[in-house]
Homo-oligomer: A and B are copies of this chain.
């Protein structure tokens, strides 16, 4: 068997079209959706990634403001920036980009992103709301996995999905999205040994650890669908996932490529979430005011 390549491009294209529809609706109401990306690093790969988000946003008609605090920024400065942006009416989505300066803990800071603008689902309140089924943005990478599975019509209800990786940005929120869709989910990690005990009977396997070669053809059953969330930069500059593509493609029925898979969809989701946040902000403003009154606040 040679696995089908589940590329992210057609999924991202559909999400971009949805974002553009939202932007049209917003412009009719006189609103330009705004996304703020807070950066505090001089890491070139990170800055390149942030520029790619800004380009994707601009292309969809979403204004992107990159707030570069520099590699010497302190926790207080980052926290107050997030608080100001949370109150800024021109900004509808906020992303705090990692890595942060040494000694600055991202966990403590994300609580300063208002849940309504938390388009990358970083605030623990967003994760808690997602868990109990209330309205919240899921981390874009976790949602990208589900968008790909749904686009390619991979059934989830009643199926067994094995998620390798228990991070708060991918594994744990992805688990919630999969349970919402009635999958039975196993969460594996570095202490799950042998790993194939937990992956080899699943219909869908998601690798989200950040280690090249973590998953091979020996870990999955014939016909499994494999989603590769890993983005590892090798010494030679190559970008590879967590899955060994050659051996896995011989056993699996479908596999996402890296690059060109999950990452492509993630960026489109950040833009889409920002337009959704702007629409929701408008609805809340409208419902908070007596009918017939203007939208100026």
Contacts and interface: CB of A to CB of B under 8 A. Distances in A.
Interface stretch (A69-77, A180-188, A239-247, A273-281): A180-188
Contacts of A175: 175, 187
B131 A172 contact: yes
Contacts of A177: none
25 contacts: A107-B132, A124-B129, A125-B125, A127-B127, A127-B128, A127-B131, A128-B129, A128-B131, A131-B172, A157-B191, A158-B191, A160-B197, A160-B198, A166-B179, A172-B176, A175-B175, A175-B187, A179-B189, A182-B191, A184-B188, A184-B191, A184-B198, A186-B186, A186-B187, A187-B187
A189 B179 CA distance: 9
A123 B132 CA distance: 10
Interface string A182-213: 10111111011100011000000000000000
Contacts of A197: 160
Nearest to A162: B186
Task: Give the secondary structure class of A's interface.
Answer: mixed
Interface string A103-119: 00001000000000000
Given A189-B184, A191-B157, A191-B158, A131 B134 contact: no
